[in-house]
Amino acid sequence: MSPTDGLSVFVTRRLPGEAIARLAQACAVAVWPEETPPAPAELRARAAGADGLLCMLTDRVDGALLDACPRLRVVSNLAVGYDNVDLAACAARGIPVGNTPDVLTDATADLTLALILAAARRLPEGIAAVRDGAWGPWRLDWLLGLELRGASLAIVGMGRIGRAVGDRARAFGMDVIGVGREGGRASLHAAVARADLVSLHCPLTPETRGLIDAEALAAMKPGAILVNTARGGIVDQVALAEALRSGRLAAAALDVTDPEPLSPDDPLLAAPNLIVLPHLGSATTLTRARMADLAVGNVLAGIAREPLPHQVLAPPSAGTAPDTDRG
C-alpha cells in the first residue's frame, strides 16, 4: 500500500503538461476549474479536507486558511517567490512549504533584457508611431534611445536571476553594478546614482516593500530607466508615476505591479514612457512545465511525509536588498 493512498490534494489552477496526471497516480486530486483564482472563502472551503495544497502566487496562504485545513501536510507554491505564504504560520503548524527555484531563471532573465532593450530603444513609441501614421520622413533626431554598450546597469538583488541578467548585460558590453543587502539604503542610493538603468531582482519582504520610493527615484541618474521583474510592491508606484511625468526618469518597464492585475484605470498607466506587462517572467512553455513538475514533486514528498526536494527553510532574513530573487 502506498503511503499516499487515501490522501487528497487541492490544486488552485490547471497545470501544464502531464503534472496533474502524475499527481493523480498517487492521490486524489481536485483542481480549481476557473482561470481566475479562488476567493479566500472558496479556497478555505475547497482545501478544507486536503492533505496537500498546490497553490499559485495569487493565493494567500495564511493562518485563517491553515486553520480551515486541519489535515494539511504540505504547501507547494508554484513560484520561486513565496511572499503569498505566511511561513511563520506554516512553521507553527509543522507544515513544510515548497517552491520552484532555478527553472525560471533564464526565462525571467531573458524577459528582463527584452524590457531593457524595449525601454532603452523606445520600441513602444516606434510601434505606436507606425500604427498612428506618425512615421514621416527619416529624421536625424527622432526617437533617439540609449545604446547598451558602455551603459551602466545597477542590479538590485544578485541572486540567480540577478546574476543571469548580469551575464546577459555584460554580453551587450554593459557595466554591471551589483547591489546586495550590505550598506542598506545609502548603498542602494549610491549605486543607482551611477546607473543608466536599474533592474530589480530582490524578493518582496517587509524590508524591501517600497524600497524604490520617491527618495530612491530622486537618487537615480536623471534620464535613467527602471526595470522591475521581481515584485510590484518593491516600487512605490505613485512616486514612479510622478518621476515619469516630471521627466526625472526616461522610462520604466514593469513585468510586475501592485496589485495584479492592475486596473485599466489605474493612474500609473497614464504615466508617459511606461511599459507594463502582465507578469510574463516565467511564461515560456518549457519553464512553466518545469515549474509544475517541481511543484508536484514537492506535494508528493510532503503528503508522504518525506523531505521536500525544494523546501523553503525559513522566512527571508532582514536586510534592505536580499540577494535572493523572485519569479
Tell me which residues are annotated as active site. 279
Residue 322 grid coordinates: 536580499
Burial of 318 (0-12, 13-18, 19+ CB in 10 A): exposed
Query: Which of helix, strand or coil describes residue 110?
Result: helix
Distance between the two ends of the chain, CA-based, in angstroms? 38
Distance between CA 103 and CA 287 in Å, rounded? 6
The single-letter DSSP state of residue 262 is P
Whole-angstrom CA distances from 250 to 39, 103, 112, 159 are 38, 32, 17, 27
Distance between CA 148 and CA 114 in Å, rounded? 12
